[in-house]
Amino acid sequence: MAVLLLTWEWAGRRAAGTLTLPPASAVAVALAAQLVDGRFWSAMAVTLQALVVGFALIVAVGIPAGLAAGHVPAVGRALNPYLQFLLAVPASPLVPLFVIAFGIGLAARVATVVVFGIAVLVVNTAAAARQTPTRLIDMARAFGASRRQLFVRVVLPASVPGIAAGLRLASARAVVGMVVSELIIISVGLGRLISTYSATFDVANLYAIVVVVLAIGVGVARSMTWLERRLVRWA
Amino acid sequence: MGMNGTVIEVSEVSRHFRIAGHELTALFGLSFAVRRGEFVSIIGPSGCGKTTLLRMLAGLIEPHGGQIRVGGRPVRGPGRDRAVVFQDFALLPWETVLGNVAFPLEIQGLPRGEREERARRAIALVGLAGFEASYPYQLSGGMQQRVGLARALVVDPETLLMDEPFGALDAQTRHLLQDEVLALWQAHPKTVVMVTHDMEEAVYLSDRVLILTARPGRLAREVAVPLPRPRDESVRRSAAFAEAVEDVWSSLRTLVAA
Ligand SMILES: Nc1ncnc2c1ncn2[C@@H]1O[C@H](COP(=O)(O)OP(=O)(O)O)[C@@H](O)[C@H]1O
Ligand SMILES: [Mg+2]
């Protein structure tokens, strides 16, 4: 890390006068100035709002949908084409469609976050539910478990590792969706700052905002890894 | 209960499986009966339908021909009169030993206090007192199967169904658990049907050994084990034991002609 920063500083100073790479120290100064600026924080709030609402929707819809798809084969078959589409196709071209459908407000950005993140959670959850060990299902049935008990006491807990992994992957994609929505068409939040600074060649501030976006991504990934470890202590 | 103390009646039972459009007959025209309190082992070539038979006795799958009666009534699904011990233990990895053993009682809807008390007693019975809070991954194979055994005993079933219960264990652990199952069975008489591929195990534990033919499985022969009870290590070393094993082997040898 220290080596990386020093290399960056050195390369930045050598490139002084050009617009490509500011020295690390200049970015640090710019970042410090941003952190005491009210406009930065309101941009941050706008950005995080889409991420939080979008991710909440991903969780609320994705986990039940995944469990249904994995546990009930007919549901799985019905959802599969859409999931494959969402996983295979780059989601960015959909953003303009959301703008047409929802306007340029919060809804379109939330939709982008959801579309980026939800499929991977549904697919992981469904795979885990489907792969509930047959021996455990046999065991529960042999001791008289009802369909409901079988689901609640066997399929659901057996799916927890898959759900946790799905949450981790979905959260990373949701962060990408958050950034993409603000860079394409819907110019608000941190995305707007990035566009502005890059249009005015203010590279130090541009890098400062990029660092913040990266930090959000790392923070989200870290907390999801922590959650995963908490949820799956028995495996 | 059936007449003459018969608890389990298997009459002309057949079962098929469809694999890739192919009809495979696992069992065909299998008949036998088990008396109340009897310990019966089922042995036969691999793939002859032993697990299939046990799953039908447990009520997990249905016969395609013939009938299975337990306690005088045709089997229509799993029932509280039967409990199963699985070869691969089938423990819930996210539950503790206590949670696993209490699981069948939870399914039955017993209040927490009662099911935990009964689970603790069953855990002590199989020699696992002190391990109530352990998770399956923290236990050896032998200890995991003790949990499987306690989970079956906790419901106090009339009939115990065991599918190669010691098949996944090393030889020493297997011997130890065989002796413990014998002791438990002496103290708490139950009807036991045990599938095994181990002839010595079948002879050591059983009153009768049923030998099945290669697929489609049907009864080839039954061997009554003439050894006295209670049995212990000295029985394992007796000439009568060796003779009984040899008897089973002589039948099995012709069936496994592979
Ligand atoms: N669920 C199933 N689907 C398809 N074939 C099966 C199924 N269960 C068992 N069989 C087949 O039936 C035969 C008997 O299997 P099984 O009862 O497991 O034999 P054993 O326990 O004696 O080794 C085997 O050929 C096996 O492949
Ligand atoms: Mg088997």
3-state per-residue secondary structure call for B189-251: CCEEEEECCCHHHHHHHCCEEEEECCCCECEEEEEECCCCCCCCHHHHCCHHHHHHHHHHHHH
Binding site membership of B60 for ligand 1 (Cβ less than 6 Å):
no
B25: in domain? yes
Count, in order, helices (H) and strands (E) of chain B.
Answer: 8, 10
Buried-state track B187-196, b at ≥16 Cβ within 10 A, e below 16: eeebbbbbbb
- Distance (Å, whole) CA A107 – CA A90: 20
- Distance (Å, whole) CA B14 – CA A133: 27
The answer on pLDDT for B59 being more than 60 is yes
- Distance (Å, whole) CA A3 – CA A15: 18
Give the right CATH number for A24-231 from 1.20.140.10, 1.10.3720.10, 1.10.287.110, 3.50.30.20. 1.10.3720.10
Q: Which residue type is seen at B222? A: E
Alpha carbon nearest to ligand 1 atom 18, residue: B51
The residues pairing with B195 across neighbouring beta strands, listed in sequence order, are B42, B163
Q: Which residue type is seen at A220? A: V
pLDDT band at B1 (very low <50, low <70, confident <90, very high): very low
Max Cα–Cα distance, chain B, nearest Å: 54
pLDDT in tens, B97-156: 999 999 999 999 999 999 999 999 999 999 999 999 999 999 999 999 999 999 999 999
pLDDT in tens, B12-39: 999 999 998 999 999 999 999 999 999 9
pLDDT on residue A91: 81
The answer on pLDDT for B2 being more than 50 is no
Ligand nearest, relative to CA of residue B46: 1
Contact A234 B93 (CB under 8 A): yes
pLDDT band at B257 (very low <50, low <70, confident <90, very high): low
Q: Are B124 and B117 in contact (CB under 8 A)?
A: no
Contact A157 B135 (CB under 8 A): no
Any CB–CB contact under 8 A between B93 and chain A?
yes
Residue B243 CB partners (closer than 8 Å, separation 6+) = none
Residue B82, SS3? strand
- Distance (Å, whole) CA B221 – CA B214: 12
Q: Are B65 and B13 in contact (CB under 8 A)?
A: yes
Nearest CB neighbour to A138, from listed B82, B90, B137: B90
B129: in domain? no
Q: Which residue type is seen at A82? A: Y
| Axis crossing angle, helix A189-199 with helix A38-71, rounded to the nearest 10 | 130
pLDDT in tens, B226-248: 999 999 889 999 999 999 999 99
Q: What is the position in ligand 1's atom list of the atom closest to the CA of B27?
A: 14
Low-confidence ranges of chain A (pLDDT < 50): none
- Distance (Å, whole) CA A177 – CA A217: 11
- Distance (Å, whole) CA A39 – CA A83: 38
- Distance (Å, whole) CA A108 – CA A100: 9
Any CB–CB contact under 8 A between A143 and chain B?
yes
Instruction: State residue B14 phi and psi, 5-degree precision.
Output: -125, 155
Q: In chain A, where are the structural domains located?
A: 24-231
B127: in domain? no
pTM exceeding the 0.90 threshold for the entire prediction: no
pLDDT on residue A160: 96
Binding site membership of B45 for ligand 1 (Cβ less than 6 Å):
no
Residue B103 CB partners (closer than 8 Å, separation 6+) = A140, A143, A153, B92, B95, B151
- Distance (Å, whole) CA B133 – CA A14: 62
Residue A154 CB partners (closer than 8 Å, separation 6+) = A132, A136, A137, A140, A145, B92
Tally of domains within chain B: 1
pLDDT on residue A17: 63
Detail the DSSP E strand segments found in B88-218: 159-163, 191-195, 208-212
Nearest CB neighbour to B107, from listed A135, A143, A160: A143
| Axis crossing angle, helix A156-183 with helix A106-130, rounded to the nearest 10 | 150
Alpha carbon nearest to ligand 1 atom 1, residue: B17
Probe site for chain B from A143, A151, A163 (most B CB atoms < 10 A)? A143
Q: Are A98 and A156 in contact (CB under 8 A)?
A: no
Strand B6-19 to strand B22-35: parallel, antiparallel, or no bridges (unpaired)?
antiparallel
Q: What is the position in ligand 1's atom list of the atom closest to the CA of B46?
A: 23
In this structure, what token pair is assigned to residue A57? 């929707």
How much distance in Å is there from the Cα of B63 to the middle of ligand 1?
Answer: 13
Contact B78 A141 (CB under 8 A): yes
pLDDT on residue A18: 64
Contact B137 A136 (CB under 8 A): no
Buried-state track A176-195, b at ≥16 Cβ within 10 A, e below 16: bbbbbbbbbebebbbbbbbb
CATH code of B239's domain: 3.40.50.300
How much distance in Å is there from the Cα of B7 to the middle of ligand 2?
Answer: 23
- Distance (Å, whole) CA B26 – CA B217: 6
- ipTM of this predicted structure: 0.93
Q: Which domain does B7 fall in, by range?
A: 1-75+193-258
- Distance (Å, whole) CA A51 – CA A44: 11
Strand B208-212 to strand B191-195: parallel, antiparallel, or no bridges (unpaired)?
unpaired
In this structure, what token pair is assigned to residue A201? 């060649």
Residue B32 CB partners (closer than 8 Å, separation 6+) = B10, B210, B219, B222
Q: Are A159 and A152 in contact (CB under 8 A)?
A: no
B104: in domain? no
Q: Which residue type is seen at A218? A: V
pLDDT in tens, A83-126: 998 888 888 888 888 888 888 889 999 999 999 999 999 999 99
Alpha carbon nearest to ligand 1 atom 16, residue: B49
